[in-house]
Structure 1
Amino acid sequence: MIRLMTDPVTREYLGGAVDYASRQALELSPLGLTWGRWVLALAEDDTMIGSITLGYDRGELELSYALLPEWTGKGYAAESCIALLGWAREELDDDHVIAISQTRNKRSVALLRKLGFSVRKGLEEFGTQQLLLERSLRERLPEFAQELQTAADPPPPTRR
């Protein structure tokens, strides 16, 4: 988890790497309401590959996810998002969910669009352009995560 939060490639579109002390203070803060943060792990050996969160931001249900660089582009984000959005659809009273992505993060924007999100508005946060996307929780979700990741998608970020 520390690597996920401090890896500069993973955090490139998420406001930058967070130092350990700052991350620990955020995690211990009583501020905010969340349904939880889940670790994404491989079924065969429990290797951690990322995390996914469902919480409230701006007074709305928000989906957020991050994968370590070596695990991007393999369908894991899509599979995880479909599972968590399906759970939210069945268990929560919310009508919609939002996601925020930097406009430069073309892979994430492409995935969110394939998951049925549409752009509500652009905004500037953390010194860069962001997109606030939304989708209804009542609309049907894609069934196969593998179809969401294609060779036509933008390449993953690379280490600088």
Structure 2
Amino acid sequence: MPELATAAWPPDPIKTARLVLREPVVGDRAGIVDLFTSPEVGTYIGGPRPREEFERAMPETPRKRPGLFVVDLDGSMIGIVTLDRRDPEHPVHVRPGAEEVELGYMFLPQSWGHGYAAEACAAALEWCARALPGEPVVLTTQTANGSSMRLAAKLGFAEVKRFEEWDAEQWFGVWTPSDADQDALKAP
């Protein structure tokens, strides 16, 4: 199975109509701290991290790693999109014991409601389909997070299962590029 770590990384920045998906840089640190310590962002992911603790732990230069994209709007970090391997020990998979690619995303509250998450996640899924052909991508969100549920549907994720975790109902879905999507990705 191809690995994210062996995919060509970092890719050239991915440009969409309004955004750039790129590796983190020193100037992103303040935005990343704001993102992880925001009460609004933390609502459905276990709450915000304590700001002082996160600032102490956060290196001056944000960590770069395969699968982590900073979402940039007009030169400012507005969020992150991640593509990570799902832990094979997790009880919910589309392929038992497999390490599917899992899509994650977080955006600063001031960027909500403008379609940036859909635009950035669609671009990351397209990159993943090229880097790891045929690989399904999974997504988990709380069913109470209406915005995330709508985004999953808009991106084409199909529900696989609902389950309880972290004292909340979770929605688990899968996205697999169609043959038409794969053909379009091969076009120059």
TM-score range, shorter chain: 0.7 to 0.9
Instruction: Quote the residue 1:83 is aligned against.
Output: 123
- Give the secondary structure class of the aligned counterpart of 2:42: coil
Instruction: Quote the residue 1:57 is aligned against.
Output: 86
1-structure distance, mates of 2:43, 2:131: 32
**Contact 2:33-2:55 within 8 A present in 1 as well:** no
Output the aligned Cα RMSD.
2.4
Q: Could you list the per-position Cα deviations for residues 79-114 of structure 1 after superposition, in whole angstroms to 9, with x for gaps in the alignment?
A: 111111001111114521001111011111111111
Instruction: Quote the residue 1:99 is aligned against.
Output: 139
Give, as a single letter, the amino acid of the residue that structure 1 aligns with 2:66. Answer: W
Instruction: Quote the residue 1:3 is aligned against.
Output: 34
2-structure distance, mates of 1:139, 1:113: 19
**Contact 1:95-1:138 within 8 A present in 2 as well:** no
More strand by share: 1
- Give the secondary structure class of the aligned counterpart of 1:12: helix
Instruction: Quote the residue 1:38 is aligned against.
Output: 69
Runs of 5+ consecutive residues of structure 2 not aligned to the other structure = 1-31, 60-64, 88-98, 182-188
Larger Rg: 2
Is 1:13 the counterpart of 2:60? The answer is: no
More helix by share: 2
Pair 1:8–1:93, CA change in 2 (3 A): same
Q: Segments of 4+ in structure 1 off by > 4 A?
A: 20-28
Number of aligned residue pairs = 134
Cα displacement (A) at 1:137:
2.9
Give, as a single letter, the amino acid of the residue that structure 2 aligns with 1:55. Answer: D
2-structure distance, mates of 1:137, 1:53: 18
Pair 1:94–1:129, CA change in 2 (3 A): same
After TM superposition, the score normalised by the length of structure 2 is 0.64
2-structure distance, mates of 1:71, 1:52: 14
2-structure distance, mates of 1:106, 1:22: 30
1-structure distance, mates of 2:147, 2:78: 17
Cα displacement (A) at 1:128:
1.1
Runs of 5+ consecutive residues of structure 1 not aligned to the other structure = 29-33, 142-160
2-structure distance, mates of 1:81, 1:21: 30
